Amino acid sequence: VTGTMTLEQTPFCTVEHQLTHRKIKMVGYLCKVSKGRNERNDKARWLRLDRTNSLALSQAMKRVLTRLAEHIR
């Protein structure tokens, strides 16, 4: 991603998830990007948070997005 990026120092969530053979830990940080675009894939696009419910995402990622929605309210 190009452009100006600001990353908050404190995570908005930590999600732990048990897979069959290992545990994963996802830590969510809020990042604000202005005038950004993806140089590697010009077909990539940003989605509004309320448009992500139709995506095929893992349960762990869905939990991160739920916490993000709660954080930005």
CB 17 within 8 A of CB 26: yes
What whole-number percentage of the chain has pLDDT above 90?
Answer: 58
Phi, psi of 68 (to 5 degrees): -65, -45
Count of beta carbons in the 10 Å neighbourhood of residue 64: 19
Separation in Å, CA 31 to CA 20, 47, 56, 68: 31, 14, 23, 11
Percentage of residues of the chain with pLDDT beyond 70: 86
Instruction: Band the pLDDT of 32: cuts 50, 70, 90.
Output: confident
Tens of pLDDT, residue by residue over 33-68, are 776 666 776 677 778 899 998 899 999 999 999 999
CB neighbours (10 Å) of residue 27? 11
- What average pLDDT does the structure give for the chain? 86
Q: What is the pTM of this model?
A: 0.77
